[in-house]
C-alpha cells in the first residue's frame, strides 16, 4: 500500500477486505498448528516501528497456541469467539480490546458459527513465537477449562 493515504473497505463484500491489501496465509510456514486463519498486513514499515495486521479466524478455527517476548495490542473488528491469555479464557465480541503481555501463552478461537476478525498490532522488530513443550502443555492442561479450550 503505497501512494495513496486512505484505503476504503472493499464494497463488494461484507467481510473485512481492503483494496490493494492481499489476503495471506496466517503463517509463512506450516510448522505451527492452526486452523482456518488468514492474515492481511494493513500498515508496516516506514517511520512506523510497528505492524498492524488483520487476522480472520473462520468459524470453528483457531490461531497457534504460542508465546513470545513481544506483546500484542488486539481489537476485535468482526464476529466473536474466545481467547486464552495466560490462565484466563476471555469471551470476545466486536470492539473488545485485548492486551497480550510478554511471554504469556495465548490462543484465539472463533465461535462455531461465526468468524472472529481482529486487528493485531506488533513491533516490527520482534522475536519468533515459541510453541509449548510437552511439559508446558501438561502444565496448561492441569486446568480443566484450559484443557478443554486449547487446540494443538
3-state helix vs strand vs coil in the chain, percent to 5: 10, 40, 50
**Using CA atoms, how far apart are residues 39 and 12, in angstroms rounded to an integer?**
19
Residues with Cβ within 8 Å of 110's Cβ and at least 6 positions away in sequence, in order, are 36, 57, 58, 59, 60, 61, 62, 79, 80, 81, 116
User: Among residues 16, 50, 83, 120, which one is catalytic?
Assistant: 120
In a 3-state reduction of DSSP, which class is residue 50? strand
Q: Known catalytic residue: 120?
A: yes
- The answer to whether the beta carbons of residues 18 and 10 sit under 8 Å apart is yes
**Cβ neighbourhood burial of 49 (10 Å; 0-12, 13-18, 19+):** exposed
- The answer to whether the beta carbons of residues 33 and 151 sit under 8 Å apart is yes
Catalytic residues: 120
Amino acid at each position: 500500500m503505497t501512494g495513496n493515504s486512505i484505503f476504503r473497505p472493499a464494497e463488494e463484500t461484507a467481510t473485512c477486505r481492503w483494496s490493494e491489501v492481499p489476503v495471506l496465509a496466517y503463517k509463512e510456514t506450516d510448522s505451527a498448528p492452526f486452523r482456518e486463519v488468514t492474515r492481511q498486513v494493513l500498515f508496516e514499515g516506514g517511520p512506523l516501528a510497528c505492524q498492524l495486521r488483520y487476522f480472520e479466524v473462520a468459524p470453528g478455527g483457531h490461531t497457534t497456541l504460542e508465546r513470545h517476548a513481544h506483546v500484542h495490542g488486539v481489537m476485535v473488528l468482526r464476529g466473536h469467539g474466545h481467547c486464552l491469555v495466560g490462565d484466563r479464557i476471555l469471551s470476545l465480541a466486536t470492539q473488545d480490546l485485548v492486551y497480550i503481555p510478554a511471554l504469556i501463552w495465548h490462543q484465539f478461537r472463533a465461535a462455531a458459527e461465526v468468524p472472529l476478525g481482529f486487528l493485531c498490532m506488533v513491533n516490527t522488530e520482534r522475536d519468533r513465537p515459541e510453541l509449548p513443550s510437552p511439559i508446558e502443555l501438561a502444565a496448561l492442561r492441569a486446568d480443566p477449562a484450559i484443557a478443554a479450550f486449547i487446540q494443538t
